[in-house]
Amino acid sequence: MTSDQLRQALRELNGERRLGIVFAHVHAPTPGVSTLDVKNAMLIPAEADNLVKVTDGRSVFIIEAAHVAWLSIT
């Protein structure tokens, strides 16, 4: 998946939905747990750095599109 494809998939995030992402081929702090769960997720508009960023209003999460195995938006 490219950054543009990921950004397209995340455009539904409006601060009222939950984002769950499972990552492939990454080192996890806890063996076997390579997930990210963001409540009240909102996609940050594209910036000059071209990074895909999501926020919950308190933290900013930078997502590497190439490592996303699958995601859910609920």
- Residue spans of the domains in the chain: they are 3-73
* pTM for this predicted structure: 0.86
Q: Return mean pLDDT, the chain.
A: 91
Predicted pLDDT of residue 33: 64
Distance CA 44, CA 29 (A): 25
Note the pLDDT tens digit of each residue in 1-37: 899 999 999 999 999 999 999 988 777 666 666 889 9
CATH topology of domain 3-73: SH3 type barrels. (2.30.30)
Given the DSSP bridges, would you call strands 35-43 and 68-73 parallel, antiparallel or unpaired?
A: unpaired
In DSSP notation, 12-66 reads: T-EEEEEEEEEESS---SBTTB-EEEEEEEEEPPP-TT--EEEE-SS-EEEE-GG
Predicted pLDDT of residue 16: 96
CB-based contact 22:32 (threshold 8 Å): no
